[in-house]
Structure 1
Amino acid sequence: MAFQGPAYGLSRELLLKSQAKFDIELANQALNWVQAVTNTSFNLNNNDDNNNNDNSTGIKDQFEFAEALKDGIALCNLINGLAPGSIGKVNKMKTPFKEVVNCLHSLGGLAQKKGYQGPVIGIKTSDENKREFDEETLKKGRAMIGLQSGSNSGASQAKMTPYGASRQIIPG
């Protein structure tokens, strides 16, 4: 959070809302997965504090997560780890960008669907479930009038008072 000034008012509310939605456990899982697939490690400032050898990142907040991925190099290496040769040249220029945890989990699920056999993260994207019905079942379906076809009852504005008109009270 070195480049972040103090937040006040709406900016502070949005910052707090963003921090509340950020799941540190999912972020650590995502970074550990990226490290496992790419066989690299992130040089984070807090790794000296942890001093552990279990190859886990142990980030503390969303700003450290963004710092680890902001140049995009790790993500390009991740794509090449999942599908070799997808990115021909990885740009090493240190240009910051913003990335979210959910994208890495989605990418992990898609990689599983495509047959990637390495470390996994996220939920595997479902496969197509095409169904074949016999002719009898199809005939039964055609005979039924569903509510989607519907009727026009209730769709009429008959006997409704137009907007802005005075209400007529007729003694009964």
Structure 2
Amino acid sequence: MEVREDAESNCDVAFAEAQRWVEAVTEKNFENKDFRASLENGVLLCDLINKLKPGIIRKINRLSTPIAGLDNINVFLKACEKIGLKEAQLFHPGDLQDLSNRVTVK
């Protein structure tokens, strides 16, 4: 059990550090205490990459729909590739989706 607690503690520290960095670069705060939920709509990610490489994303979809969020995340990931990141270094768009209320078939 101790190893798992150490891993969770390390993840919490990593998330906190990543959040501090994103907020410092974008000059915007996370809207939610949950790291994943704060990035789910992709707006903060698009703002982040535009701060790192101004103008790389021309239009951010600010509608509050899951499709808009997925669109923003895909635009962010394409911009990451444009600046030299490899696909293996990036996450999958579905990694940010909230699966807590998704219906599953057994």
| TM-score (ref. length: structure 2) | 0.51
**TM-superposed deviation, 1:43:** 2.3
> Distance between the aligned counterparts of 1:93 and 1:24, measured in 2?
30
Aligned counterpart for 1:29 among listed residues 14, 17, 25: 17
Instruction: Kindly indicate whether structure 1 or structure 2 has the higher relative contact order, using CA contacts under 8 Å at least 6 residues apart.
Output: 2
**TM-superposed deviation, 1:93:** 2.4
**TM-superposed deviation, 1:20:** 4.5
> Distance between the aligned counterparts of 2:58 and 2:20, measured in 1?
24
Residue 85 in structure 1 maps to residue 73 in structure 2: no
**CA root-mean-square deviation:** 3.2
> Distance between the aligned counterparts of 1:21 and 1:28, measured in 2?
11
Aligned to 2:42: 72
| 1:24 counterpart letter in structure 2 | D
Share of identical aligned residues, percent? 32
Unpaired runs of 5+ residues, structure 2, are 74-79, 85-106
* Closer, same or farther: CA 20–42 of 1 in aligned 2, 3 Å: closer
* Closer, same or farther: CA 22–91 of 1 in aligned 2, 3 Å: farther
SS of alignment partner, residue 23 of structure 1: helix
**TM-superposed deviation, 1:67:** 1.0
Structure 2 counterparts to residues 4-23 of structure 1, below 5 A: 20=8, 23=11
| 2:29 counterpart letter in structure 1 | S
The total of aligned residue pairs comes to 66
**TM-superposed deviation, 1:21:** 9.1
Aligned to 2:98: none
Aligned counterpart for 1:43 among listed residues 31, 36, 48: 31
Quick check: which one's helix share is greater? 2
* Closer, same or farther: CA 22–90 of 1 in aligned 2, 3 Å: farther
> Distance between the aligned counterparts of 1:21 and 1:91, measured in 2?
34
| TM-score (ref. length: structure 1) | 0.33
SS of alignment partner, residue 68 of structure 1: helix
| 1:79 counterpart letter in structure 2 | I
Structure 1 residue ranges, 4+ long, deviating more than 3 angstroms after superposition: 19-22
